[in-house]
Structure 1
């Protein structure tokens, strides 16, 4: 009898294991379906890795809402700031090849590089470009990157850094930035002897088999299956205009310009989790450098409450923390109507990735929590509905405390006669010229290098503000004039204090340089 029972157990094992795998995949699919429905997303692709193997992939929705072409595992999405980890990996490959060192001064590779403080210029190392410790304010200079498209070059960005005043001490505090990742891409190009996008293809995409990832110049028509960003408008997903026939190698590529598919991102994750997936691609020293805690970050209350987090830090292109007692390596990406999230649990050789082609900050947060909790706290019932409820209660508390979105002031169009001598051409040292000039009976604001930043000037109780026509109204800004004569200055101040940090109006200071033409 014991022998028969043992035989029966052995015969049942494969079926039981298969049932367990199917059950896990079903839970991941339930999470995807719940997030897709709850947040009414235009399109989404999700993948999960368990113990080094792809355990689940799923996709829902359309490339462009209303057009009927479905998202799948090969659809290209903007991964936005998840590009930063790839930029760091390119540099790690160059360090491994002996082409540069992490502690090289940036000026060794880019002699034209300047920060506002000459001491910082001299002491800024390659590693500092990646860990948000420059002393610049949150998102400083991002108006040279977004909104897109614009006419700023990489040379403009590097030159502009010298005019951005620090708000803290070098290497003292964490403040997220994008400009220094653009510099990091140029350091890679100088050390590698090739353009950044070419290095990305040769050092990352080709050796790892990430066949559909795109960087630099490429043709959407030739590549095909490309998701379009969406904005939310009256509970509807409105697709952005289709990509041009040729996507150019735009300046912010190294900070957030890569597009990849779900299958590409799963391959990226597998190689990061298991060196044997790509032997020799990156040695143990450089892998450890990427995931070392180089810059402390604050631990938020939500992290404490949701994940029992005790530490939080930035590595090279990655955020590092602990989640339910397990090591977590992660990043997110947000860019013009596309959201991404990638999280790894290295000790489990597991992780998840989410790609969404809509405005989906809450959806991304909730779904990633639900996916990871199936591995860190299985059976606890911490699903999409649970986390969505927590976020909705947080939002309700903010609104009750008067911290909701700020309504736009009532106003009337500014007139040429009423605007007076402040009409004219104004210039900022890094942002360039803007024109506050007559258009019909009114006054318009128009940026020379950032065409999307144009709008009509409106007066509310005599106070001027810009109602943007090229970007969302949540970025509308007051125009504030100070001083007299040669000391007259123009500043922009966000009307809504909850504005996206990339609208770094606080870093602008315009001087009048001429009359309207």
Structure 2
């Protein structure tokens, strides 16, 4: 998922740069022709963007992105909506303005808008307690359970750690949305309630259930009927399961083993749609951006939501720490403030307020950026896991409309990517240096096999097959792989699905009698997406014959 400085797949919104990889060896596909947005569209672009197509293609080549789609809106008008490159590597079908991409966590703004719309109708109050609408809702701390408000679900200030609970639905699991939320009672908190920002997805599953409970409709039906239809987002879909053969849709691409770029199949996400399920085109998202920039007003003059609701969505609920840019080339983008509202990130750039979000999905990452005071919006959708590409494109557009000199953001992000990759290499070298290659496991392999249970995830099974150990997460089909000894009682599990780039150390703790007391895990690479929250698992052996607890 792979915004990599804070990795993005589901979250995406906090990363300011992302891992990417070297340019393709083969020639890049040609850019497609611009979508028809009016004869004056090209003329409306600032002079800095007259070579925009060539610039986007340079970003595609540098960061190995087969296809990119971009839309720019200004003062209520669509001044550019265009596709560049191809939908799938090795196939000729071009990306255009109507190509559907998974927008992942950019879905969160739709979830926030849905709740505000229901609040305007008097069906809830944003400061209602969650238990007022879902009496069975429970966090691991009774105080947080009692005090969690609807607004808190959207703000990443619950006390949960970064990506906490993501393994309940990422990669796709067999849990229902309600089961995901029921497991929250066992997900530990990392900080005090409302004391710190930490990006999560699981509370948007709670928000999804609140919307369904209050509206009497499924989340997909509510968003489709109450948002997509009035806004005119006729091409947008709630989930991959709605894709049909022959649709104009991009295929995601990932670097298998952090190396070879290959397509990855679309992923259906039915148990947390409110956190990141939507598929949309830049053509439709241009309408969404204009709605936002016009304070919730629809083209016919009616309102989807009020200016007051938008003010709440765009008000900072929790500040974020501002880190120094990893390389000098990115110094210009360091904000003076940063925080999170309701489904939106908030910061500034050269004195202008930005309201924005990113999203990451298997093989796709994206960014939506609004500059409210300039009535400016830009959306960049990509079909590769490189946030460096969408950031380089976004900042070129922002500079053009802010009257700044041209800056080669492609080169700037390439420098950041190089450093990020170097840090990952250093991390692996440290592991190698610390490894005792002469050590052997304390037990025969059969001693490590068994069924293990984590309080919040559930069961993980380790079996001995053909003289080797295999690990399988009971509710996650993709999390199956072979284990190889690393040192002492630690193994590395290498997942069969090499697109995930999420191999993990598996460390056994033994009791005084040489029996397994606990199993802990952690990602091998710092480039692994944070949604693989293996480090939060506390796996204990399950006694033979003990049934899995039904949820």
Choose from 140, 153, 163 the match for 1:129: 153
Aligned to 1:3: none
Scaled by the length of structure 2, what TM-score is found?
0.83
Partner of 2:392: 366
Q: Distance in 2 between matches of 1:451 and 1:84?
A: 26
| Structure 2 counterpart SS, 1:474 | coil
What's the counterpart of residue 199 of structure 2?
176
Change (3 A) 1:22 1:331: closer
Distance change (3 Å), C-alpha of 1:407 and 1:126 = same
**Counterpart in the other structure of 1:318:** 344
Q: How much does 1:253 deviate?
A: 0.8
Superposition map of 1:425-444 within 5 A: 425-444=451-470
Q: Indicate the larger mover: 327-336 or 367-376.
A: 367-376
Q: Tell me the equivalent position of 2:292.
A: 272
Cα gap change, 1:407 to 1:55, in 2 (>3 Å): farther
Task: Indicate the SS of the match to 2:325.
Answer: helix
Report the counterpart of residue 388 of structure 1 in structure 2. Answer: 413
Shift of 1:383: 3.0
Change (3 A) 1:48 1:499: same
Distance 1:18 1:100, change over 3 A: closer
Uncovered stretches (5+) of structure 1, i.e. residues with no partner = 1-14
Shift of 1:57: 1.9
2:274 maps to 1:254: yes
What does the per-residue CA deviation read over 1:153-180, in whole Å, with 9 as the maximum and x for residues that have no partner? 1122111111111111000010000000
Question: Which deviates the most, 116-125 or 487-496?
Answer: 487-496
Q: What SS does the aligned partner of 1:68 have?
A: coil
1:157–1:60 distance in 2 versus 1, CA, 3 Å: same
Q: Partner of 1:419 in structure 2?
A: 445
Q: What is the Cα deviation at residue 497 of structure 1?
A: 3.6
Please give the secondary structure, in 2, of the residue aligned with 1:302: coil
Question: Residues 442 and 28 of structure 1: is their aligned pair in 2 closer, same or farther, counting only changes over 3 Å?
Answer: same
CA drift of 1:464 comes to 1.8
Distance 1:396 1:418, change over 3 A: closer
Shift of 1:488: 1.1
Does the CA-based 8 Å contact 2:71-2:78 persist in structure 1? Answer: yes
1:471 is displaced (CA, Å) by 4.8
Q: Does 1:488 align with 2:517?
A: yes
How has the CA–CA distance of structure 1 residues 34 and 453 changed in structure 2, closer, same or farther, with 3 Å as cutoff?
Answer: same
Q: Tell me how far apart the structure 2 counterparts of residues 473 and 364 of structure 1 sit (CA, whole Å).
A: 21
Partner of 1:382, secondary structure, is coil
Name 1:225's counterpart in structure 2: 248
User: Which structure is larger by alpha-carbon Rg, 1 or 2?
Assistant: 1
CA contact (8 A) 1:116 1:166 kept: yes
Counterparts of 2:67 and 2:436, CA distance in 1: 36
**Aligned pair 1:464/2:487, yes or no?**
no
How has the CA–CA distance of structure 1 residues 424 and 262 changed in structure 2, closer, same or farther, with 3 Å as cutoff? same
Q: 1:305 to 1:417 in 2, by over 3 A?
A: closer
**Cα distance change on mapping 1:387 and 1:369 into 2, 3 Å:** farther
Q: Deviations over 1:330-382 (max 9, x none)?
A: 0000111100101000000002100011121211222212221112243x121
Q: TM-score, length-normalised on structure 1?
A: 0.88
Report the equivalent of 2:180.
157
Q: Does the CA contact (< 8 Å) of 1:32 and 1:58 recur in 2?
A: no
Q: Check conservation: 2:140, 2:189, Cα contact below 8 A.
A: yes
2:451–2:462: 8 Å Cα contact kept in structure 1?
yes
| Aligned position for 1:12 | none
**What CA distance in whole angstroms lies between the structure 2 residues aligned with 1:85 and 1:95?**
15
Match of 2:506 in 1: 479
Q: Give the structure 2 partner of residue 6 of structure 1.
A: none
Alpha-carbon offset, residue 419 of structure 1: 1.7
Report the 3-state secondary structure (helix = DSSP H, G, I; strand = E; otherwise coil) of the residue aligned with 1:198: helix
2:316 match: 293
User: How has the CA–CA distance of structure 1 residues 446 and 19 changed in structure 2, closer, same or farther, with 3 Å as cutoff?
Assistant: closer
Deviation at 1:31, TM superposition (A): 2.6
Aligned counterpart, 1:96: 120
Map 1:77-116 to 2 at 5 A: 77-116=101-140
Q: Secondary structure at the match of 2:355?
A: strand
Check conservation: 2:157, 2:198, Cα contact below 8 A: yes
Query: How many Å separate the matches in 1 of 2:437 and 2:94?
Result: 43
Distance in 1 between residues matched to 2:334 and 2:458, nearest whole Å: 46
Deviation at 1:212, TM superposition (A): 0.8
The Cα shift of 1:272 comes to 0.4
Structure 2: stretches of 5+ with no match in the other structure:
1-38, 547-551
Shift in Å at residue 307 of structure 1? 2.9
How many pairs were matched up? 495
Determine if contact 2:69/2:83 at 8 Å carries over to the other structure. yes
Match of 1:334 among 339, 360, 371: 360
Distance 1:224 1:405 in 2: 45
Residues 478 and 492 of structure 1 are in contact (CA less than 8 Å); yes or no, is this contact kept in structure 2?
A: yes
Q: Are the structure 2 counterparts of residues 454 and 72 from structure 1 closer, same or farther at C-alpha, using a change threshold of 3 Å?
A: same
